[in-house]
Amino acid sequence: MILLSITENIHNWLFSVMPEGVASIVEMVLIAIVYLSVFAVAGLFLVLLERRVAAWFQLRIGPNRVGFQGLLQTMADAIKLLTKELTGTDKADKFLYNLAPYFVIITALMALAVIPFSKEFQAFDINIGIFFLIAISSIGVIGILLGGWSSNNKFAMIGAMRSGVQTISYELSVGLSLLTMVVITGTLQLSEIIEVQKHGWLIIQGHIPAVIAFMVFMISGTAETNRAPFDMVEAESELGAGFHTEYSGMKFAYFFLAEFINMFIIAAIAATIFFGGWLSPFGITESIPELGVFWFLIKTMILVFLMMWFRWTFPRLRIDQLLTLEWKYLLPINLVNIVVMAALVWLNLTIRL
């Protein structure tokens, strides 16, 4: 295993030249740097991809001036945000106003840490992986609530309150759809869930209930990341920019970047739970484990494209429609679906390839 040997060699080298305590800290810092790099590169790439997809759907060109085929456009935007003045309101709660972006960005990073990119590339493999992801994702909304409330701006406050209602509502469907798949696997650990799928992806093993769980998860995940058609939190046509109206420069960039990383995380969770994570289709490259990252990213990017397709296809829902969809449709469907899945597992009717 090339990746495994590299990490083992670095681990052994650090512990051979440093005291154990210092080596552990240095190792954790190196892991953090790697994930911060993944975070930044993924964010820049997804912003460019969103623009390209939007242009394709709307029959226009998209970024094409800065760098070859516009590839450096997002880099130019990042430099602009880095150098832009940090403005705010005089009557804002300065401490909470400055703290809010870090809640959003840190929770996204913590969620990214438990995502298994391949058998060797996972920072934090814990036996309560799915529970951890559900729990950590519910903390991110605190940053949005703090940002809207501390800005002392009525439009930002409305956006923050909408976010609280929307996130709390759709978290139920996200959690229940994942729990439906846990019924098949019998474990919350992401690496073990992938191992179970060597006999067939869970979306195949669980047939119709698994497909329903996947559809509900993608709809609810899109709503939880505040993306169109569920972008009531920002709603540019009525709130200006919603909860981050008063933010500029890098503080705004944190909110902006976190939205795209959260979209990637939702797609990565779906790829892991429903489509076998790093496992190749029909085991075609099982003898080449180094390709695990490739298969994982291919599956994840297809689902990211699906979420972008949602955004540029459907109009924004009203707040009453948004809540009706969750409480009157998705939640009842989820509750029935998890019972049906439990019955299938109990009767041993799952499909094993």
* pLDDT tens profile 12-33: 778 888 888 888 888 888 888 8
Q: What's the confidence (pLDDT) of residue 329?
A: 96
Task: Name the H helices within the chain.
Answer: 2-17, 20-57, 73-83, 94-113, 129-150, 154-185, 190-196, 202-205, 207-224, 236-239, 249-274, 292-311, 319-324, 331-346
Kindly report which listed range (56-60, 220-224, 283-287) carries the lowest average pLDDT score.
Answer: 283-287
Q: What's the confidence (pLDDT) of residue 3?
A: 47
Q: What's the confidence (pLDDT) of residue 31?
A: 83
Kindly report which listed range (25-34, 124-133, 208-217, 262-271) carries the lowest average pLDDT score.
Answer: 25-34
Give the whole-angstrom CA distance, residue 206 versus residue 204: 5
Q: Indicate the pLDDT class of residue 7, thresholds 50, 70 and 90.
A: low
Mean pLDDT within 297-319: 93
Is 349 a residue whose pLDDT tops 60? yes
Q: What's the confidence (pLDDT) of residue 307?
A: 95
Mean pLDDT within 49-65: 92
Which one-letter DSSP state was computed for residue 316?
A: P
Which residues lie closer than 8 Å to 321 by C-beta, 6 or more apart?
none
Give the whole-angstrom CA distance, residue 335 versus residue 260: 29
Mean pLDDT within 29-41: 86
The fraction of the chain above a pLDDT of 90, given in percent, is 54
Q: What are phi and psi of 276, to 5 degrees?
A: 80, 5
**pLDDT tens digits for range 295-306:** 999 999 999 999
Give the residue from 349, 341, 345, 350 showing the smallest Cα distance to 179: 341
How many CA atoms does the CB half-sphere of 65 hold within 13 Å? 3
Give the whole-angstrom CA distance, residue 108 versus residue 226: 14
Beta carbons of 305 and 241 less than 8 angstroms apart: no
Mean pLDDT within 8-13: 73
Is 4 a residue whose pLDDT tops 60? no
**pLDDT tens digits for range 223-257:** 999 888 998 888 877 877 888 889 988 899 999 89
**pLDDT tens digits for range 134-183:** 999 888 889 999 999 999 999 999 999 998 899 889 999 999 999 999 99
Mean pLDDT within 340-346: 95
Beta carbons of 190 and 130 less than 8 angstroms apart: yes
Q: Which of 31-35, 77-81, 266-270 has the highest mean pLDDT?
A: 266-270
* Total-model pTM: 0.92
Instruction: Tell me the C-alpha to C-alpha distance, in Å, between residue 265 and each of 42, 134, 150, 262, 322.
Output: 11, 11, 27, 5, 22
The fraction of the chain above a pLDDT of 70, given in percent, is 97
Is 6 a residue whose pLDDT tops 60? no
Which residues lie closer than 8 Å to 216 by C-beta, 6 or more apart?
173, 176, 177, 330, 333, 334, 337
Is 267 a residue whose pLDDT tops 80? yes
347 vs 138 pLDDT, higher one: 347
Tokens coding 254: 């944190």
Q: Indicate the pLDDT class of residue 1, thresholds 50, 70 and 90.
A: very low
Cis peptide, bond prior to residue 101, ω within 30 of zero: no
Q: What's the confidence (pLDDT) of residue 33?
A: 87
What's the mean per-residue pLDDT of the chain? 89
Beta carbons of 159 and 243 less than 8 angstroms apart: yes
Give the whole-angstrom CA distance, residue 205 versus residue 51: 36
